[in-house]
Amino acid sequence: NKMLKGRNTALEERCKALDRKSESLERACDELEVRCSSLERSIQVLKKDVDWTYSAPDIPRSHWILKGHDEEYTAHMKGCLRRIK
């Protein structure tokens, strides 16, 4: 009978410890959910007014020639810039 009471007491203590741990984890989870919601709202605000179009002006062929590059280089640069746009 004493052995059963001792075992019961140990199980009750373990159960209380697990309850405390569970409550702690639930609080942490709630805090993370609040933080996640806040970050999601921030992302929505940041991407709301963003224009992702390429807005740099065209670079004329003469620019590359004046820099000392040949026609082949100039043609490659035009193609490269066209793909970026």
- Give φ, ψ of 50 to 5 degrees: -95, 130
Measured between alpha carbons, how far is 61 from 71 in angstroms, rounded to an integer? 9
Tell me the per-residue pLDDT of 13-47, one tens digit each, with 9 for 90 and over.
999 999 999 999 999 999 999 999 999 999 888 88
Query: What's residue 2's pLDDT?
Result: 87
Residue 63 contacts residue 32 (beta carbons within 8 Å): no
Cα 74 to Cα 29: distance, rounded to the nearest angstrom: 57
Which tens digit of pLDDT belongs to each residue from 39-80? 999 988 888 877 777 677 888 999 999 999 999 999 999 899
CB 74 within 8 A of CB 64: yes
- Angstrom distance (rounded) from CA 81 to CA 85: 6
